[in-house]
Amino acid sequence: MSRNVPRTDVVMRALACLGVAALLTACGPEAPKVTGAPPDMRRLTDEQYRNSIADVFGASIKIGGKLDPLIRTGGLIALGARSAPITPSGLEMIDQLGRSIAGQVVDAAHRDILVGCGPADSKTFDDACATQFFARTGRMLYRRPLSDTELKARVSAARAATENLGDFYAGLSASLSGMLVSPNFLFVIDSTEPDPANAGALRLDAFAKASRLSFFLWDTTPDDELLAAAEAGALNKSDGLKKQIDRMLSSARLDGGVRGFFADALALDKFDTLEKDSVIYPAFNLSVSEDAREQTLRTISDVLVARGEDYRNLFTTRHTYMSAALARIYRVHVPKTGQWVSYEYPADDPRVGIQSQISFTALHSHPGRSSPTIRGKAVRELLLCQKIPDPPADVDFTKFNDPNSPMKTARDRLSAHTEQPACAGCHKLTDPLGLGMEKFDGAGQLRIVEQDVPIDPTGDLDGKKFTDTAGLGKELHDNAAAAACVVNQLYAYGIGRVPSKPEQPMIAYLQERFAADGYKYTALLKNIVQSDAFFAVSPRTPTTASAQREMTP
């Protein structure tokens, strides 16, 4: 994966385009041609499942469980969706969720709105109402209109269930629960059709395009207008597509898409199993854990969408949001209103950027202590897309914990790594970054000493020295790898797979555009979805399908 674009090129292109932001597409070379990969299918992530249910049936429908976790692949959970099966126990949970959701949809509190019709006597079956219900709901769940056969099958199942259970709504619920375990709902399927512009080639059909756009930009199912555009053929025309893209980028749902991507790219799923010692860190509880995740996502959404700032400002921003639970860890005053409040760190506060937030410092620490190595590794891998090799199998670590050692601080202890050649190579990449965050303990709380020795938070990033976390943020802001990383990850997230080698020119092109656009995240989104590469599919051959699926978890 290409990580760096020469900074001079980036600057030159940015200068060339300066002042003509509205006409940026006219700047620079055209996007490289991309052949894409064979069509495939991706299981809904847990978040996409929840968002879809909320969008189709409303936020009042409770979802009391989780889908099987996906295997992180190529740095992203979303890419694991491409290889995820539905296991027997996973299906059991999906079935349980589906029955619960279907039951709520038709219960007395929801049926008037979500069903909207019904027989005078609920013991009898209302064919017209069932047909209307499944046509409307099925279109939203399957992300395309149901075929006549599918619609008849749903109505028929509801009729049979009504007869056996003696209740129309129980019948509707039973048939609806079937739709919620259907692969047509659980998998986002790349349906294709012959490309009229290229004889012998394929293209995604309009409904597959709608799904790809919607799950990328909104992390949820297409809305009615997008499906209507697909039905009308508008997504196969450049102006129709552009209109929908512009609408989606200006929609409030974009926030869901931003959250979906960054929760994945920053590995915030680790909060699900994060553990902190309650004796060592009594202030750290489940509320802190939940709010820390939310704080970072709110910060990102604010910087990138609400304020439309430079992506790199995520590493230097002093603005964030605070809850009462977090205030205990950050040791700041927040009114106990139960609401989130906007918060600005003072100019002399060492907390600068998302890398200083609990979601980074506590998430990448041990349960009872900090870890410069784990934090440094997280900076390299999550923020710079630079893979750190696993440690060798036969290292003797005992010298790092010698009780007779005079070493008091993590900096002292880690210095021992430099004496071991097998360790030094990787620790030189990680530790100087993590040591810059040592003023935050394993729970993310500010501290100034470790075992009564003042903490030295200096470090360096690829030879650029800094004196504290704020300095680290400044170096991340200025490091070309950070901007390149988000482009790489976002592109992979959008197409749902690890990009192939022939796609590297496309990624390099997007990196250039990102710089030229002032590192505006929404501009990057737009460049990706407006590119031919985003929708490109290649014909399936006997070997490509399996070869393409060979990915490193």
Binding positions for other proteins, 259-278, rule CB under 8 A: 272-273, 275-278
Q: Which of residues 505-544 bind other proteins (CB under 8 A)?
A: 540, 542
Helix (H), strand (E), coil (C) string for 13-53? HHHHHCCCHHHHHHCCCCCCCCCCECCCEEECCHHHHHHHH
CA distance 404 to 87: 51
Task: Check the CA dihedral 419-422-423-424 and report its sign.
Answer: positive
> If binding is defined by CB under 8 A, does position 400 make contact with other proteins?
yes
What does DSSP assign to residue 320? E
> If binding is defined by CB under 8 A, does position 344 make contact with other proteins?
no
Q: Which of residues 91-110 bind other proteins (CB under 8 A)?
A: 91-93, 95, 99
CA distances from 230 to 189, 323, 378 (A): 15, 42, 40
> If binding is defined by CB under 8 A, does position 553 make contact with other proteins?
yes
Min separation Cβ 441 and other proteins, Å: 11
- Beta strands 41-43 and 192-194, pairing class: unpaired
> If binding is defined by CB under 8 A, does position 410 make contact with other proteins?
no
Q: Which of residues 119-148 bind other proteins (CB under 8 A)?
A: none
- Beta strands 341-344 and 202-204, pairing class: unpaired
> If binding is defined by CB under 8 A, does position 422 make contact with other proteins?
no
> If binding is defined by CB under 8 A, does position 85 make contact with other proteins?
yes
Which of residues 196 and 403 has its CB atom nearest to other proteins in the complex?
A: 403
Q: Which of residues 162-181 bind other proteins (CB under 8 A)?
A: 164-165, 170, 174-175, 177-179, 181
CA distance 355 to 461: 14
**Selected binder of other proteins within 1, 34, 76, 84 (CB under 8 A):** 84
> If binding is defined by CB under 8 A, does position 280 make contact with other proteins?
yes
> If binding is defined by CB under 8 A, does position 198 make contact with other proteins?
no
CA distances from 309 to 301, 304, 458, 494, 509 (A): 10, 5, 28, 21, 21
| Cβ-Cβ contacts under 8 Å for 120 (sequence gap 6 or more) | none
> If binding is defined by CB under 8 A, does position 150 make contact with other proteins?
yes
Which of residues 335 and 392 has its CB atom nearest to other proteins in the complex?
A: 392
Min separation Cβ 116 and other proteins, Å: 22
Q: Which of residues 284-313 bind other proteins (CB under 8 A)?
A: 286
Which of residues 8 and 546 has its CB atom nearest to other proteins in the complex?
A: 546
CA distance 264 to 351: 23
> If binding is defined by CB under 8 A, does position 451 make contact with other proteins?
no
Site string for other proteins, 372-391 (x = CB under 8 A): ------------------xx
Residue 187: phi and psi, rounded to 5, are: -115, 135
Please name which of 111, 184, 119, 125 lies closest in space to residue 158, comparing C-alpha atoms: 125
Which of residues 342 and 405 has its CB atom nearest to other proteins in the complex?
A: 405
Which of residues 174 and 297 has its CB atom nearest to other proteins in the complex?
A: 174
> If binding is defined by CB under 8 A, does position 408 make contact with other proteins?
no
Q: Residue 415: what residue type? A: S
Q: Which of residues 23-82 bind other proteins (CB under 8 A)?
A: 38-41, 68-69, 71, 80
Please name which of 507, 50, 11, 27 lies closest in space to residue 260, comparing C-alpha atoms: 50
